[in-house]
Chain A
Amino acid sequence: LVFLCLRPGAGQDVGRSCILVSIAGKNVMLDCGMHMGYNDDRRFPDFSYITQNGRLTDFLDCVIISHFHLDHCGALPYFSEMVGYDGPIYMTHPTKAICPILLEDYRKITVDKKGETNFFTSQMIKDCMKKVVAVHLHQTVQVDEELEIKAYYAGHVLGAAMFQIKVGCESVVYTGDYNMTPDRHLGAAWIDKCRPDLLISESTYATTIRDSKRCRERDFLKKVHETVERGGKVLIPVFALGRAQELCILLETFWERMNLKAPIYFSTGLTEKANHYYKLFITWTNQKIRKTFVQRNMFEFKHIKAFDRAFADNPGPMVVFATPGMLHAGQSLQIFRKWAGNEKNMVIMPGYCVQGTVGHKILSGQRKLEMEGRQILEVKMQVEYMSFSAHADAKGIMQLIRQAEPRNVLLVHGEAKKMEFLKQKIEQEFHVNCYMPANGETTTIFTNPSIPVDISLGLLKRETAIGLLPDAKKPKLMHGTLIMKDNSFRLVSPEQALKELGLAEHQLRFTCRVHIQDPRKEHETVLRVYNHLKGVLKDYSVQHLPDGSITVESILIQATAHSEDQGTKVLLVSWTYQDEELGSYLTSLLKKGLPPSTS
């Protein structure tokens, strides 16, 4: 059997995630992301790659979206409405709720702000969402008769899930992005010992082992606290979803704990809507939030209020979350310009900044910035960097592999050089094959499928009754007839097989002649043989019949004198094929000859 992993996007590169898996004749597309870096056709995966000219709906059995980040779902409306796909799309409930907001926002920026044409419309997003089937955690969804999928919790962002795709007894687990260490609002990824044939794991931090989250959190809080106590203002540029909520919770609980009074603002926009969904989906959050929501939903922020443009000029300390996260435009930049001149203030960059943005400049220590219109802005405020990443680090990836016990591992969503290191480690620690295909490359993995066979209960009971305790770990020998009919396998007892097939029973007997040198009379020889066998085979019933023959269980032994040489006796040993084992043992025993008689 063959797994076909083909990636219109993704591969060894952080950006578009889009993976195609063929498993036992079923084709599944995992994620449908876009690349943030491009503004032309390259931003979407090349779907023509999948089917040269056929219809996608005919080729794909289903599409699975792991979480709502645009590099995992950004191309979905393009794919389903513009390229044309009408099959089912699976995602978790929170993803289904939040995904359209982000897509709409993305569309607005591209079409309304940048004025691009040939882009999907709001209606397309809506139509696309109609094709989505929402799934619950650990719910097994039967896509068709053979294909089933199951979602596991992945941490990372609200509603992020890992998916197990199973056809017959072959299975693949796709992790999407996941996080093995819990944070302030989400728990850790978890999977059971499902032993898939293949685990497709992200590997963004393949070569990193991170420090404890607590130190970073404490540093962050301490800095904010100190600044606020000094009477300074804190600006935290964030992207609207994900980390922003984590930081909000962090500050909110800290304010609550320390009884602080300074206001915290959150610049409005799509965040309000998103916060609303966070409130609804608290079952997807971490233990603390789930446990305390009866008293108070943690996302009902007590200290965090909506921001208004006018507040930026208010005197006194405050903390403001503003979008976008890299300080390249919008509200965060406006506020930054207002506050940059005062050394009491502080800006905290909670994530990575792309080169060329204001964020990147100030992080690399630039103190004088050239703004639009040749203005020079002197940055006197403190600049801090605080990374809060929600991807699993190398240890986390290894931990997940340990939990799931896959037979093969495939790394995607990372840089080639880093993945090489991890690959080597995985092969060394777990002794499983590890693959890291490049973009557009196809990987074939051979599995060793087990074939299920139906067995009748009667036969099973009968067979297990023979012998000692059944042992789960050891293979067991069974006697029966295998009937292969209409694509199904059945193991039945021989009698039933004969009956079903309308055949008569034939008996197969083996006979063997053994020559023994014994000058005595026939019946004496028989007696000697009888005594000998009786002495050797203590556990079997050895009988001497009146007609001069010996039976050992169902094996018959007769002795006749050799026609030519009276001193040689011929022993005729005859047994049915069921007693093959005993029969051949007996023959070899007799061939060794009889012990010298004592008399």
Chain B
Amino acid sequence: LQQQHEDLSAKKLRLTKPSKSAALHVDLCKATSPADALQYLLQFARKPVEVESVEGVVRILLEHYYKENDASVRLKIASLLGLLSKTAGFSPDCIMDDAINTLQNEKSHQVLAQLLDTLLVIGTKLTENPSVRMRLVEVACKHLTDSSHGVRNKCLQLIGCLGPVEKGVAKEVESQAAKDVQKIIGDHFNDQDPRVRTAAIKAMLQLHERGLKLQQAIYSQACKLLADDYEQVRSAAVQLIWVLSQLYPESIVPIPSSNEEIRLVDDAFGKICHMVSDGSWVVRVQAAKLLGSMQQVSSHFLEQTLDKKLMSDLRRKRTAHERAKELYSSGEFSSGRKWGDDAPKEEIDTGAVNLIESGACGAFVHGLEDEMYEVRIAAVEALCMLAQSSPSFAEKCLDFLVDMFNDEIEEVRLQSIHTMRKISHNITLREDQLDTVLAVLEDSSRDIREALHELLCCTNVSTKEGIHLALVELLKNLTKYPTDRESIWKCLKFLGSRHPTLVLPLVPELLSTHPFFDTPEPDMDDPAYIAVLVLIFNAAKSCPTMPALFSDHTFRHYAYLRDSLSHLVPPLRLPGRKLLSSPVSPSITPHEDPSQQFLHQSLERVYNFQHLDPQGIQELLEFTIRDLQRLGELQSELAGMADFTATYLQCQLLLIKALQEKLWNVAAPLYLKQNALASAAAKQILEETYKMEFMYSGVESRQVVIIHHMRLQAKALQLIVTARTTRGVEPLFGMCEKFLQEVDSFQRCFISELPHMQGSFVDKLLDLMPRLVTSKPSEVVKILQTTLRQSTFLHLPLPEQLHRATANIIEPTGESDNPLRFTSGLVVALDVDATLEHVQDPQGTVKVQVLYPDGQAQIIHPKPADFRNPGPGRHRLITQVYLSHTAWTEPCQIEVRLLLAYNSNRSKASAKIPKSTWNESLEALPQSENGIEGTIPFSKPVKVYIMPKPARR
């Protein structure tokens, strides 16, 4: 019995291994009905097939294909052929002939279409081979006359993807069929089936994408397609027209029904504008989007898009916009509407009114009033793009954009505010427009308000009333939403510095100074007062006459604010206060900055310390580190650089100190206590290296090598210390092996950098590698110790730009004395608002940590949507953290801080290994390589006073 069992298993092994094709063959032969066969094929399709056996499988499938009578099975086989030819590493040219042959006798349209699809897959894998492409295109042309839309569809797709693009080559290999791909495809623009028409246009667009220059003759054909009954055809046609208008913007086309001629881009623009009022919203979105990118259009066409003649009972009526403008220019303030204020004035000549203007008229007016918000957003985006390139258009579209600030959908409002910001350099807001803009400040959505603050930062206001209005509304906003404080201050800072002359006449009123009487001193902690001061001080920076208007306490407040809110209050040249005038005169350009020179000089000095005695080295390092740290504090633009180098020197200092320890000379067991310094140093160096690698943006691979090298040294140190302090050899085996693996992977990752590392630790280590691998742990340790001591200090090259990731928690402020009370066991939501700077990929790396007084720590991953991106390199985290705890007897503080998570897998080092091998090596490599995950705290902790109350029974 036992014997038989063995036999069976042996057989099994032999049977399954050879190939999948055999099994499939057996299965398919067994199949009694088409349904059975289909089942087998479906099962087969679920499993992957190795590259070597693909061809065999294909042969078997084809064999069955010819035998099979049932169309559904043939269809499945055809689709499997396509799937198989997609297999990576398989070159399908060997099966192409067979695939083409199958087409010959196929009767079923569905199978035919599927086979063509397979050919498309094959063709896309063999794009480099022109003769193959030629053949496939020929095959496709032959089947273009098929009566089924599916087949024609696929044929056109095939031609679009594979049709000859290069003019020169095409002529040589030219055959009759594939003479003019464009003409063949163009003939199908009038196909009876809308799906085929769509496919034809798509194929044409595909050809364009592949680099073929489309002929201008297609334009008139495409224009006819705009009136198609089917939306997908119209949508594709709009795209085609756009493409052509970009290709031939300047050529001239006639206007039908008149003998005038216009530029093609203008004509196309008019036609696409017309599609903005199409019946299908898909087409409308498409059209509105494309309008934005037609910048060559002439300006009078462009301006028509905002034009809408109003009338009432055949009399001309002015739009609300025109009325507002008139009111403004007449110098009157809006007095509230009277009945009949908008009463129509002059009579209109009935013949002159054009109700459906052909062309661009009112396209954006329609688009912005569309019922689907997708269309409105697309229209706003298009407006933005066009306005950016045309200042006069920007001025005109302002009224419409301002109107969009009151859209019912928040996304649209936000989008239009952003758009306005982008074009703000081209425009100046009128007072009535400003009024509407400012009304939005009361919006309950924080995003909207902040976007609006950003907008106000860069708007031009024309009058001093405008400034006053803006200030009043911003202060109103401040009282309604006190959390907007920072954003409003910043907004006022820019508003002040942009309009010094407009602020000047307002100063006495704003500071409520009086020529004769002393007014009471305002409260210095009042955010509204600070807001006013921020506006004034920033205006005063470029307006030297302003400080004369200040009262005494204003100067005192200035000194205070300059210190406490230095990012908002600029240095001022105040009379009689020379000390406060700016220490760095702005005439010095950064590259000849003495502080930068200082940085380099001190580094230079450090790298030459080899000649000094150990004591001297340590002292020098300590001094340099101190200097660099101070430099970083003084010069904010050099802070990243200075911190980075200081950290590096600190690591080196620690290493030197650890190696100077006397413990190395004494027998191991005696120094269990004293080695604390060395192991602590090793640990700290490790931490610092992670900080260096992940906390700075702009670190290049040159630095990464050095950092990794430093880490390797720290690990070596750790190994030595452990070897000295632990008894027994067993644990050392593992450690040594691990260390050697790390050296190995270091070598693999940074092979290109090794030549630059002459005389370094790793350089020496690699020389000794053959010896290390064979020797016992104790010897390894000894070798390591000597190499570590003898190795030279590596020069750290500095990159161009280096920024340290920083985070600042704005909310909670940590000032509150009122504990946050909640019932224990339930949760309370804590609003966290923080700004992040120079953090790459904050969604993946930034975490919030909450530390409870009992030492319990909780890490929260904010949602990706909680991160906003207000500007390059800056991020904003607005999230809610849920807290919960068991009951406490009295309120206590918890700490909230932000962490930067890192994973050595994501590091720049591993990214250097080519992707394909990376995937495979992932499994093969030991775990250590696979990522050390950790977190670096990078914000100051904020204390929050909380009090979980026991639940009442």
* Chain A positions near chain B (C-beta within 8 angstroms): 181-182, 184, 187-188, 190-193, 207-219, 221-223, 225, 253, 256-259, 286-288, 363-365, 382-385, 394-395, 398-399, 402-403, 418, 421, 424-425, 429, 464, 469-473
A211-B310, A398-B356, A399-B277 known; A259-B339 Cβ under 8 A:
no
| 3 A-B pairs closest in CB distance | A182-B371, A472-B192, A215-B320
B353 contact from A217, A425, A469, A473, Cβ within 8 A: A425
Contacts of A214 in B (CB 8 A): 368-369, 403-404, 406-407
Please, how many angstroms separate the alpha-carbon atoms of A402 and B373 in the complex? 23
**Is B312's CB within 8 Å of the partner chain A?**
yes
Please, how many angstroms separate the alpha-carbon atoms of A135 and B695 in the complex? 65
Within the complex, the shortest CB–CB distance from B415 to chain A, in Å, comes to: 15
Contacts of A424 in B (CB 8 A): 350
Q: Which of chain B's residues has its CB closest to A195's CB?
A: B229
Within the complex, the shortest CB–CB distance from A34 to chain B, in Å, comes to: 26
Contacts of A225 in B (CB 8 A): 439
The answer to whether B403 touches A395, judged by C-beta atoms less than 8 angstroms apart, is: no
27 pairs, CB–CB < 8 Å, chain A vs chain B: A182-B369, A182-B370, A191-B279, A207-B313, A209-B308, A209-B309, A209-B311, A209-B317, A209-B355, A214-B407, A215-B319, A218-B403, A219-B320, A221-B406, A223-B337, A258-B442, A259-B444, A286-B371, A288-B408, A383-B339, A385-B339, A385-B340, A399-B277, A418-B314, A429-B355, A471-B192, A473-B190
Contact with A along B314-343 (1 / 0, CB 8 A): 100101110000000000000011111000
**Is B929's CB within 8 Å of the partner chain A?**
no
Q: Which of chain A's residues has its CB closest to B444's CB?
A: A259
**Is B409's CB within 8 Å of the partner chain A?**
yes
Please, how many angstroms separate the alpha-carbon atoms of A80 and B428 in the complex? 64
A193-B279, A209-B311, A384-B337 known; A471-B190 Cβ under 8 A:
yes
Q: Which of chain B's residues has its CB closest to A424's CB?
A: B350
Please, how many angstroms separate the alpha-carbon atoms of A101 and B337 in the complex? 36
Within the complex, the shortest CB–CB distance from B711 to chain A, in Å, comes to: 51
Contacts of A363 in B (CB 8 A): 339
Q: Which of chain B's residues has its CB closest to A181's CB?
A: B369
**Is B436's CB within 8 Å of the partner chain A?**
yes
Within the complex, the shortest CB–CB distance from A38 to chain B, in Å, comes to: 25
The answer to whether A403 touches B309, judged by C-beta atoms less than 8 angstroms apart, is: no
A384-B336, A471-B192 known; A207-B314 Cβ under 8 A:
yes
Within the complex, the shortest CB–CB distance from B339 to chain A, in Å, comes to: 5
Within the complex, the shortest CB–CB distance from A152 to chain B, in Å, comes to: 11
**Is B627's CB within 8 Å of the partner chain A?**
no
Within the complex, the shortest CB–CB distance from B232 to chain A, in Å, comes to: 14
Please, how many angstroms separate the alpha-carbon atoms of A429 and B368 in the complex? 25
B319 contact from A181, A211, A256, A257, Cβ within 8 A: A211
**Is B443's CB within 8 Å of the partner chain A?**
yes
**Is B445's CB within 8 Å of the partner chain A?**
yes
Please, how many angstroms separate the alpha-carbon atoms of A363 and B406 in the complex? 27
B356 contact from A382, A383, A429, A473, Cβ within 8 A: A429
Q: Which of chain B's residues has its CB closest to A259's CB?
A: B444
Please, how many angstroms separate the alpha-carbon atoms of A223 and B338 in the complex? 12
Within the complex, the shortest CB–CB distance from B734 to chain A, in Å, comes to: 57
**Is B827's CB within 8 Å of the partner chain A?**
no
Within the complex, the shortest CB–CB distance from B394 to chain A, in Å, comes to: 19
Contacts of A398 in B (CB 8 A): 355-356
The answer to whether B403 touches A219, judged by C-beta atoms less than 8 angstroms apart, is: no
Please, how many angstroms separate the alpha-carbon atoms of A425 and B147 in the complex? 44
A-B interface contact total, Cβ < 8 Å: 124
**Is B472's CB within 8 Å of the partner chain A?**
no
The answer to whether B320 touches A287, judged by C-beta atoms less than 8 angstroms apart, is: no
Q: Which of chain B's residues has its CB closest to A473's CB?
A: B190
Contacts of A365 in B (CB 8 A): 338-339
A212 contact from B147, B355, B403, Cβ within 8 A: B403
Please, how many angstroms separate the alpha-carbon atoms of A225 and B438 in the complex? 13
Please, how many angstroms separate the alpha-carbon atoms of A370 and B145 in the complex? 84
Contacts of B192 in A (CB 8 A): 470-472
**Is B213's CB within 8 Å of the partner chain A?**
no
Within the complex, the shortest CB–CB distance from A411 to chain B, in Å, comes to: 14
The answer to whether B320 touches A216, judged by C-beta atoms less than 8 angstroms apart, is: yes
**Is B480's CB within 8 Å of the partner chain A?**
yes
Within the complex, the shortest CB–CB distance from A351 to chain B, in Å, comes to: 13
Contacts of B313 in A (CB 8 A): 207-208, 418
Contacts of B735 in A (CB 8 A): none
Within the complex, the shortest CB–CB distance from A186 to chain B, in Å, comes to: 9
Within the complex, the shortest CB–CB distance from B756 to chain A, in Å, comes to: 60
The answer to whether B353 touches A472, judged by C-beta atoms less than 8 angstroms apart, is: no
A182-B371, A193-B279, A288-B409 known; A215-B443 Cβ under 8 A:
no
* Overall SS of chain B's interface: loop
The answer to whether A212 touches B365, judged by C-beta atoms less than 8 angstroms apart, is: yes
Total interface residues in chain B, CB < 8 Å: 50
Q: Which of chain B's residues has its CB closest to A221's CB?
A: B406
Contacts of B370 in A (CB 8 A): 182
Within the complex, the shortest CB–CB distance from A467 to chain B, in Å, comes to: 11
The answer to whether B337 touches A187, judged by C-beta atoms less than 8 angstroms apart, is: no
A395 contact from B317, B338, B355, B406, Cβ within 8 A: B355
A182-B369, A213-B369 known; A253-B408 Cβ under 8 A:
yes
Please, how many angstroms separate the alpha-carbon atoms of A421 and B350 in the complex? 7
A212-B369, A253-B408, A471-B190 known; A259-B480 Cβ under 8 A:
yes
**Is B634's CB within 8 Å of the partner chain A?**
no
Q: Which of chain A's residues has its CB closest to B436's CB?
A: A218
**Is B670's CB within 8 Å of the partner chain A?**
no
Contacts of A188 in B (CB 8 A): 371
**Is B925's CB within 8 Å of the partner chain A?**
no
A212-B320, A394-B355 known; A382-B279 Cβ under 8 A:
no
Contacts of A216 in B (CB 8 A): 320
Contact with A along B435-456 (1 / 0, CB 8 A): 0100100111100000000000
Contact with A along B385-418 (1 / 0, CB 8 A): 0000000000000001001101111000000000
Contacts of B320 in A (CB 8 A): 211-212, 215-216, 219
Contacts of A187 in B (CB 8 A): 371
Contacts of B336 in A (CB 8 A): 223, 382, 384
**Is B372's CB within 8 Å of the partner chain A?**
yes
The answer to whether A207 touches B373, judged by C-beta atoms less than 8 angstroms apart, is: no
A217 contact from B145, B187, B406, Cβ within 8 A: B406
Please, how many angstroms separate the alpha-carbon atoms of A597 and B914 in the complex? 83
Contacts of A395 in B (CB 8 A): 355-356
Q: Which of chain B's residues has its CB closest to A349's CB?
A: B339
A258-B444, A383-B339 known; A421-B369 Cβ under 8 A:
no
Within the complex, the shortest CB–CB distance from A591 to chain B, in Å, comes to: 39
The answer to whether B406 touches A184, judged by C-beta atoms less than 8 angstroms apart, is: no
The answer to whether A209 touches B442, judged by C-beta atoms less than 8 angstroms apart, is: no
Q: Which of chain B's residues has its CB closest to A249's CB?
A: B408
B311 contact from A208, A219, A222, Cβ within 8 A: A208
Contacts of A181 in B (CB 8 A): 369, 371
Within the complex, the shortest CB–CB distance from A256 to chain B, in Å, comes to: 7
Please, how many angstroms separate the alpha-carbon atoms of A363 and B309 in the complex? 26
Within the complex, the shortest CB–CB distance from A208 to chain B, in Å, comes to: 5
For chain B, residues 344 to 393, give those with C-beta under 8 angstroms from any C-beta of chain A: 350, 353, 355-356, 365, 368-373
The answer to whether B190 touches A472, judged by C-beta atoms less than 8 angstroms apart, is: yes
Within the complex, the shortest CB–CB distance from B274 to chain A, in Å, comes to: 10
Please, how many angstroms separate the alpha-carbon atoms of A253 and B229 in the complex? 38
The answer to whether B339 touches A193, judged by C-beta atoms less than 8 angstroms apart, is: no
Please, how many angstroms separate the alpha-carbon atoms of A55 and B112 in the complex? 62
Contacts of B279 in A (CB 8 A): 190-193, 403
Within the complex, the shortest CB–CB distance from B367 to chain A, in Å, comes to: 11
B373 contact from A210, A259, A288, Cβ within 8 A: A288
A182-B370, A363-B339, A382-B336 known; A215-B321 Cβ under 8 A:
yes
Contacts of A259 in B (CB 8 A): 442, 444, 480
Contacts of A473 in B (CB 8 A): 190
Contacts of B314 in A (CB 8 A): 207, 418, 421
Q: Which of chain B's residues has its CB closest to A227's CB?
A: B336
Contacts of B356 in A (CB 8 A): 395, 398-399, 402, 429
